[in-house]
Amino acid sequence: MTKTLVAFFSRADENYFGGAMRYVKVGNTEIVVGIINYLIEADTFKIEMKEPYSPVYMTCIEEAKKDLRQGYRPELVQLPNNMDQYDTIILGYPNYWGTMPMAVVTFLEQFDFTNKTILPLCTNEGSGMGLSERDIKKYAKGATVKDGLSILGSRVSQSENQVQEWLNNQGVM
């Protein structure tokens, strides 16, 4: 029997939703992770930066852009104790500048993903997966990276059917 880990980066605070800013207590990606946890049995790990980005959206995106351009790897609060026990990793993140946040890159570079499957899950407001699937293949050495799921952040609360279909198609349910 395979064991699944849902590893995710999510940001609350001020966020962009279909043309307007709005404060949220739980980030979009974390909302989808809650749906996944309802649908399947999996362990969950939240990727958190020791020095989080600003709660102000416009400042946050500038900080994220700077990290991406400089190839900066932010330090994480912690890492999972044992990745060897997992065969499948559902990797959730928002689209930051056409790819995943650099904190996710920090996470991926810490492990050998040989013989593991990664299922990318990307929340966004219309930019889709961007280059994140390609980038996951680059940083998650040895992993089999399957087709990801792109979910509009402003529609995450209505995404259960979409998530369930994706998990079924990926053989996780």
pLDDT tens-digit readout, 31-79: 999 999 999 999 999 999 999 999 999 999 999 999 999 999 999 999 9
pTM of the model: 0.96
- Please, what are the domains in the chain? 4-169 (3.40.50.360)
% of the chain with per-residue pLDDT over 90 = 91
Has residue 15 got a pLDDT over 70? yes
How many Cβ atoms sit within 10 Å of the Cβ of residue 71? 8
Pair of tokens at residue 141: 């050495």
Residue 2 main-chain phi, psi, to 5 deg: -85, 150
Among left, alpha and beta (phi > 0; psi -120 to 50; other), residue 165 is alpha
How would residue 20 be classed by pLDDT, with cut points 50, 70 and 90?
Answer: confident
Confidence bin at 1 (pLDDT 50/70/90) = low
> Is the pLDDT reported for residue 16 higher than 90?
no
Tokens 């928002």 correspond to: 94
Q: Which residue has the tokens 């990926």?
A: 170
Bridge partners (DSSP) listed for residue 154: none
Confidence at residue 18, expressed as pLDDT on a 0 to 100 scale: 79
Determine the average pLDDT of the residues in 136-148: 96
- Provide the pLDDT for residue 19: 81
Is residue 123 classed exposed, middle or buried when 0-12, 13-18 and 19+ CB atoms within 10 A define those classes? buried
2 pLDDT above the threshold of 80: no
Share of the chain above pLDDT 70, in %: 99
Is residue 5 within 8 Å of residue 33, measured between CB atoms? Answer: no
Cα–Cα distance measured from residue 41 to residue 67, given in angstroms and rounded to the nearest whole number = 34
102-136: pLDDT as tens digits: 999 999 999 999 999 999 999 999 899 999 999 99
Can you tell me which residue has the tokens 């930066």?
Answer: 49
